[in-house]
Structure 1
Amino acid sequence: MATTAPNRTRQREAVITRGQIARLIAEGRKVVIVEGRVLKVDAWLPFHPGGDKAILHMVGRDATNEVRAFHSAETQHFMHRYQIGRVEGQWKDFVPPIQGGTVSQLDEGSETAEENGDITHVDHDSSEEEHSQEPSPLFDPAERPTTSLKRRNPRPRTASESSATSLDTLELDPSALPNEKDSQLATDPTQRDIEIFPSLDPLTQQSIIEKYRQLDDRIRAAGLYNCNYTAYLYEFMRYATLALLSYYFLRQQSFSLSAICLGLLWHQLVFTVHDAGHMGITHNFHIDTCIGILISDFIGGLSVCWWKRNHNVHHIVTNSAEHDPDIQHMPFFAISPRFFESLRSTYYDRIMTYDAFARFTLRYQHFLYYPILLFGRFNLYVLSWQYIFLGQGPRKGPAWWHRYLEVAGQLFFWYWFGYLVCYKSIPTAGQRVGFILLSHMITMPVHVQITLSHFAMSTSDLGVAESFPQRMLRTTMDVDCPPWLDFVHGGLQFQAVHHLFPRVPRHNLRKGQGMVREFCEEVGIPYAIYGFTKGNAMVIGRLGEIAKQARIFADCQRSMTVKDALEGH
């Protein structure tokens, strides 16, 4: 017998205990907490335009801050139809199953089965039937808890202690840490982060969250969520100029100049695609997605929907070795010695094997960094094709047709670029190869810009107790540059600000930077900002340090092999 509307309303407002939620998760249900509401989002997983991984990383967690950061007010209200109950008081996060949370971990601190009783008031089947035809979205961050974390200085940091320079040495120069003689801090990045950043106790983190929400209100009141369309007029003029120059030089058979202009065009277009992917242009999901597909697929040959799926997870589990696809570049790069353990990527669902090839390349990764990034765009083609043609995107819900538009975009791109430009307009095979390589290598600064904001930052796992704003600021840096150079960096130099407020259009990020600095001083979180040269030096330094550890690790393995061989005799 179907549940009546009044009964369903009472069910949705009923209090669900922590133990009952633990049991739901142990049964495989996808339960997320948003503003005290318990949402069971199983039915939404195949519909989510940003992919299911983004949701899975928030199962069992309070996703309020992340949902607010990534979704409009209308979408947040739409999520209420997935509500199956409410929780009382401040929610203490579980570890999501995708991050290694187990039944025993979920049950820890919860009521026993006898105390829980049956949760018959939660109408699972009717909930799934009701929403299977008309879903709603969700996403957010999480990390595995670290056991036995002790903070030597549990007090919140003062404004004077939270300068950008305090992070200048994070995981790079242990000698400049608060206590130079503390060997544990010098060798343990996690303990170092606990020393530098505010305490993980609930009161401190809740205070950070409250001030973060106040900051969001200030940014909204200042109109920074509104897109600056005048700025896009200048952007369009720049794009058109580069496109016309590339066509002109191609007709003049100045193939190198044509390739350079085309590469610069692709470089600039990436920034608008980034805005569109975050719905920062019109704030309409379908319109901004179509803008992104038109630019990324039709003009650039890359899948914006693949990028959104990848990028959403990156925003949620930033710099997590197991979970963030943006730092999973084995066997070419490793920014943490944890990659020596042959970790399993929860995003790619495969082992990132630390094999013989990886052992060789990682020893020289600081020398290979720029040369490999020259060919980064070719890797993006492969990832885009896998997403589109293997059907990794949603096939139901509001985004079902985006895949077919992207297929059309891919066909169009390879027709105009592959056939009309490379084959028909360039006479020899050697010149064609040169044109392709040069046009693609010119886009390398984008790949440097993307890795620059994270490769030198913390990869420590401080657990689910860490708040969303603190985690974003701990794992992300801004790049300092004069305003007249903003068009070169395209807003990606404000990554710390962007990670806190991903829906703020990039032309407004500089205006919000001052407010974020004030927030960091108030809550005692170090704000990381460096010049482009300094940032690159930090990245190379991090890669060099991990390369040194890889060499030491390889030497130890060889010594153990020799020792075992001798003992065998």
Structure 2
Amino acid sequence: MSAAMEALANVTNGTAAGAGPEAAEAAHIVAVAVMAVVFVASLLGQMFVYNQTPPSEYTAREPVSPGEGMVWREEGGKAVAKPKEAPVYARKRKELSNKVFSWDEVKQHCARDDLWVVIENKVFNVTPYVERHPGGWRPMVHTTGKDGTDAFTEFHPASIIERWLPQYYIGDIEETPVPPLVRDFRAIRQGLLARGFFENTSDYYMAKYIWFGSLFAPALYGVLFCSSFSAHMVSAVFMAMFWQQMAFVGHDAGHNAVSHHRDTDLFWAGFIGDMLGGVGLSWWKLSHNTHHCVTNSVENDPDIQHLPFLAITSKLFKRFYSTFHDRFFEADFFSRFFVGYQHILYYPVMMVARFNLIVQSWLTLLSKERCDFRYSEMIALAIFWVWFGFFVSALPANERIPYVVLSYAVAGILHVQICISHFMMETYHGKNTDNWIEHQLRTSQDVTCPLYMDWFHGGLQFQIEHHLWPRLPRRNLRVARKLLIELCAKHNLNYVEMDFIESNKHLIRCLQKTAVEARKLDSGDAGFFESPIWESLHLRG
């Protein structure tokens, strides 16, 4: 490593063989100029060329009919015409003597070790498969006891419906009318498929990779070929931007919304993402899939379980059991302090939140949780720490910690973008009983922005649409937004959206409201002064 550092220093100082100071300075100017041109060109491309598909494109495309008795399903990002009911079910229905279950019967089988799900009016006993489900057992358990059709079809391709489900079929559900809202929502999906909006284009992501390179190259150059403190800190900002922007593609791939082929997308999101970003895919998928299905559930959504530092609602003050973390959360003395000032501490917490993601990534891989790529992820994360450690060691000793802190702090903008999508919205206890559409509308909000700023938000600004259609390519979410707003107007549903600045202001007001409630709590309230920490501090017991 010392030899490499000496070689880099020689290049930087212009003392390499055959190169004088003037030549080195000229090379430096050319390198910086080239990176600046590529960066500006890539940024302009992201702003004005490779951004969201305009909503007008929806009506410009003629829909294709799937044919009589057929429906559109999605496979590999393509719309494929399939029978409304696969032929296998007619045969199996005879074998089962046309068995019909009531909803009361289905609701008796909602446990991890005894699980029935209802999809397209059919009942499936998926108990044998729960522990093998690639998305984890929690999304399956959390969507039982009600119609799971929309949650299932939005997360899975047609092949899963055709090849995987039939073996678990045990009968039909009693006749249940489809609500008009649900019927209209499913019609929107059919329209998006019929017009090809689930398809992705390779040029969109090729432009993204060039954009990433325009961020990563200055980050590397600023440390390896520059000696000033200011250049090093600028490098840290570019590294943070690289991580933030790359996370959006990782998010797309984690939902199989890039190539729509699971193994391909998980390779890019997992091995490449882990290796360059240091945050594990397995942890993210377990957490994120659960979050999608039970958004803002006090007991079930890990994305709002942030005690002792944050509490978005007073519902979190009471002792509760987290089904994700597999332990009780009980607000103690320290929780009361941090939550009591969370509106002040919020942004500092966001600046260090990336450190928590790194810890959670390793805890997941070292746990007994199902991880499809456990060892390859460990290798990828180890590679990250090797190259990043080598990279940071190229800095003067007194600049290493400031570099890491600044890069992680600026990358914290990603956490802010995530939080404003849900923290101000409705929360509830247990599993939600709403249909798929109303659940997402009540627990998510959009962030308005002009078309040329879509690159900055990475698709997260269309949070409602993403939650409703997680496999829909990011660049087509603006089209889905227009259709969803029309649907909400038709059915008199609330659709929440506000700009980035107003979203942050509203979030701080919500955090402050909860903080005031936390400071008013007294002995015995919410378990604050009944925790072991409080007992030991006051020598009780």
Bin of the TM-score, shorter chain as denominator length: 0.7 to 0.9
Report which stretch shifted further, 432-441 or 460-469: 460-469
In 1, the alpha carbon distance for the partners of 2:182 and 2:107 equals 24
Given candidates 45, 49, 59, the residue that maps to 2:130 is 45
What are the residue-to-residue correspondences of 1:15-414 with 2, within 5 Å?
15-18=99-102, 20-21=105-106, 24=109, 28-77=113-162, 78-90=164-176, 206-251=179-224, 252-253=226-227, 254-394=231-371, 399=372, 402-414=373-385
Q: Distance in 1 between matches of 2:358 and 2:194?
A: 40
Aligned-partner Cα distance in 1 for 2:210–2:236: 19
CA distance in 1, matches of 2:432, 2:490: 23
User: Is 1:479 equivalent to 2:447 in the alignment?
Assistant: yes
Query: Which moved further from structure 2: 71-80 or 492-501?
Result: 71-80
- Contact kept, 8 Å, 1:298 with 1:413, in 2: the verdict is yes
- Name the TM-score, length of structure 1 as normaliser: 0.73
Give the stretch that moved more between structures: 456-465 or 214-223. 456-465
Runs of 5+ unmatched residues, structure 2? 1-88, 530-541
CA, structure 1 residues 234+6, in 2 after alignment: closer, same or farther (shift >3 Å)?
Answer: closer
Q: Does 1:450 find its partner at 2:535?
A: no
The answer to whether the Cα contact below 8 Å between 2:432 and 2:439 also exists between their aligned partners in 1 is no
Match of 1:551 in 2: 519
User: Which secondary structure state, in structure 2, belongs to the residue aligned with residue 347 of structure 1?
Assistant: coil
- Cα distance, 1:411 vs structure 2: 1.4
Contact 2:421 2:447 in 1 (8 A): yes
Q: CA deviation at 1:488?
A: 0.7
Letter in 2 for 1:215: I
8 Å Cα contact 2:421-2:463 kept in structure 1:
yes
CA distance in 2, matches of 1:223, 1:299: 32
* Distance in structure 2 (CA, Å) of the matches to 1:85 and 1:318: 30
SS in 1 for 2:165: helix
CA distance in structure 2 between the aligned counterparts of 1:27 and 1:246, rounded to whole angstroms: 47
Query: Which amino acid in 2 is paired with 1:83?
Result: Y
Residue in structure 2 matched with residue 114 of structure 1 by the alignment: none
Aligned equivalents of 1:514, 1:345: Cα separation in 2: 36
Identity of aligned residues (%): 33
Distance verdict in 2 for CA 1:255–1:468, change over 3 Å: same
> Deviation at 1:51?
0.8
Maintained 8 Å contact 1:300/1:413: yes
1:468-547 to structure 2, matched below 5 A, reads 468-547=436-515
Secondary structure at the aligned position of 1:46 is classed as: helix
Aligned residue type for 2:150: N
Q: Deviations over 1:387-445 (max 9, x none)?
A: 11224124xxxx3xx11211110111111112x1123x1231x3111111111111111
Aligned pair in 2 of structure 1 residues 26, 539: CA closer, same or farther (>3 Å)?
closer
Distance 2:411 2:254 in 1: 19
- SS of equivalent residue, structure 1 residue 259: helix
**Matches of 2:361 and 2:400 in 1, distance apart?**
23
Contact preservation (8 Å) 1:264, 1:443: yes
Number of the residue aligned with 2:387: 416
Counterpart of 1:57 in structure 2: which amino acid? H
Instruction: Please tell me whether the aligned partners of residues 273 and 295 of structure 1 are also in contact (alpha carbons under 8 angstroms).
Output: no
| Alignment partners' CA distance in 2, 1:211 and 1:461 | 28
Aligned residues: CA RMSD: 2.4
The CA distance in 1 between the partners of 2:435 and 2:220, in whole Å, is 50
Cα distance in 2 for residues equivalent to 1:529 and 1:359? 31
Larger strand percent: 2
- Whichever residue aligns with residue 219 of structure 2, its letter is S
1:89–1:268 CA distance, 2 compared to 1 (3 A): same
Cα–Cα, structure 1 residues 12 and 271, in superposed 2: closer, same or farther, change >3 Å? Answer: farther
**Deviates most, 32-41 or 309-318:** 32-41
Unaligned runs of 5+ in 1: 91-202, 562-569
Query: Contact (CA 8 Å) 2:299, 2:429: kept in 1 or not?
Result: no
Question: CA–CA distance in 1 between the matches of 2:109 and 2:333?
Answer: 43
TM-superposed deviation, 1:50: 1.0
Distance 2:338 2:155 in 1: 37
SS at match of 2:131: coil
Measure the CA separation in 2 of the matches of 1:362 and 1:548.
Answer: 9
Alignment CA distance shift 1:551-1:85 (3 Å): same
Q: AA paired with 2:500?
A: F
- Deviation, 1:303, is 0.9
Q: Is the 8 A contact 2:110 2:141 kept in 1?
A: no
Q: Give the Cα separation in 1 of the matches to 2:91 and 2:439.
A: 40
Letter of the 1:358 counterpart:
S
Letter in structure 1 aligned against 2:175 = G
Query: Equivalents in 2 of 1:23, 1:497: separation in Å?
Result: 32
Q: Give the 3-state SS of the residue equivalent to 1:426 in structure 2.
A: coil
What is the letter of the counterpart of residue 448 of structure 1? V
**Residues of 1 paired with 2:112 and 2:342: CA distance?**
43
Please tell me the residue identity of whatever aligns with 1:15: K
Q: Give the match's secondary structure for 1:62.
A: coil
| 1:229-257 Cα shifts (integer Å, max 9, x gaps) | 22212211110111111111112133212
The CA distance in 2 between the partners of 1:25 and 1:457, in whole Å, is: 27
Query: How far apart, CA to CA, are the structure 2 residues paired with 1:505 and 1:27?
Result: 32
Shift of 1:86: 1.8
Give 1:426's aligned residue. 395
The answer as to whether partners of 2:319 and 2:331 remain within 8 angstroms in 1 is: yes
| 1:191-233 Cα shifts (integer Å, max 9, x gaps) | xxxxxxxxxxxx7x81111111011112222322111322212
C-alpha spacing 1:367/1:22, structure 2 compared with 1 (3 Å): closer
Cα drift, residue 8 of structure 1: 6.2
- What is the one-letter code of the residue matched to 2:271? L
* 2:19 aligned partner: none
Output the amino acid matched with 1:259: A
Q: Is the 8 A contact 1:225 1:505 kept in 2?
A: yes
Tell me how far 1:557 sits from its aligned partner: 5.6
Q: Please, which moves more after superposition, 372-381 or 41-50?
A: 41-50
Deviation at 1:46, TM superposition (A): 2.1
Alpha-carbon contact 2:296-2:304 (below 8 Å) kept: yes
- Offset, 1:555: 8.1
